[in-house]
Amino acid sequence: MKQSDSILQHAPLYPFRFEPIYKDYLWGGHRFRELFQRPVPEEMAMAAESWEISDHPHGQSVIRNGMLCGFTLHDILLSQPQKLLGDDYINRNTLPKRFPLILKYLDAAQPLSVQVHPDNVFAKEQPFNDWGKTEAWIVVDAEPDSSVYIGTRQNYSFQEQEQLIRNGHWDLLLNRINVQSGDCFFIPPGTLHALGAGVLVAEIQTSSDITFRMFDWNRCDRDGKRRELKIEEGLRVLRDPGVPVTAQVPVKTEKVPWEQLIIDEEFTMNRWTLAEQLVWYNDHRCHLWTVLDGSLVTSFTAGRRTQIMKNSERETDPDAIEILQRGDSILIPAVCPNLYCIPENNHAVFLDVIPCF
């Protein structure tokens, strides 16, 4: 057995932070640098996406803290799946070939293409070697009068949708929704959607990278060419729109600091708003957190709020505090003990996402 294998199998798991994986697409902007104050690679003029937590072949998250620094999320999944995902998840599922969710940020300086994703049934029938894609957006920052496009303006039949798409009548088809910070949208497979210009969102999705681009606003790429459309594939997975899409209405809970945003068979999503310290009690499930506003200090140990450790100590001590600024993300394995959470300056808003079964 290699030493690295032994470390992976026997190391205690702790809250993991990962190196961001940046994607440079033509619609990207500058808010990872300006709003999140991140050192985005200099060669990347505009960063479109930051994959925060991912185990997809197109983006493998590498741990940046603690004794398992340098290993990937996939390494942890293979070596300690039950401790990572929890007994309930493992007992009700076959072991997934990769971690089931991706958490990312998207910064749209220009509108994204109008696209649609397949469900698991369609994906399995095709030679994609990938999953279907369910996703959700929560708006982190939005310029005045910015919008997203989700679903259709009316309850068109499939035949009416197909006719409008083939004739290029996107202005009649797409449901445009003005947005502001805090809005949340759930996007099932088969739903037409696009981010509008000026919107920064946190996105939670199943671990899939299948996208059928249906319309790209008649623009060209950096080489002056039109990007490829996949209208025929998209029409095969398009679903009847049903009721018009609107922002999710948060469900308040008896536990005042948090509200329920989404409950789905793939994931649940809650939003926490902290104004004072609390103890977060582990429920033996895996959690993904990302800070939407303010900053948050987490620690296994009470009383370490103001103890700012040296970088070398924080990298090797899994009990060290973690200071999460706006846009920072963390994965909490199912076996982690309770966490002390302290909102700096008495304000922190973070998203809490749980893989389901």
CA distance linking residue 243 with residue 191, whole number of Å: 12
Cβ within 8 Å of residue 232, ≥6 positions away: none
Provide the token pair at 343: 């909102």
- Asked if 331 and 19 count as a contact pair (C-beta separation under 8 A), the reply is no
CA distance linking residue 76 with residue 6, whole number of Å: 12
CA distance linking residue 264 with residue 40, whole number of Å: 33
For residues 177, 150, 101, 328, the Cα torsion angle rounded to the nearest 10 degrees is -20
- Asked if 173 and 153 count as a contact pair (C-beta separation under 8 A), the reply is yes
Report which secondary-structure segment, H or E, holds 47: none
Q: Report strand pairing: 258-263 vs 251-252.
A: antiparallel
* SS3 of residue 234 by DSSP: helix
- Asked if 103 and 290 count as a contact pair (C-beta separation under 8 A), the reply is yes
- Asked if 312 and 265 count as a contact pair (C-beta separation under 8 A), the reply is no
Q: Which residue in the list 17, 31, 213, 285 is annotated as catalytic?
A: 213
- Asked if 326 and 36 count as a contact pair (C-beta separation under 8 A), the reply is yes
Question: How far is CA 295 from each of CA 24, 213, 233, 324, rounded to the nearest angstrom?
Answer: 27, 36, 43, 6
- Asked if 193 and 150 count as a contact pair (C-beta separation under 8 A), the reply is yes
Which one, of 175, 123, 166, 121, lies nearest residue 148 by Cα?
175
Give catalytic status of residue 213 as yes or no.
yes
136 forms beta bridges with: 186, 204
Return the active site residues. 213
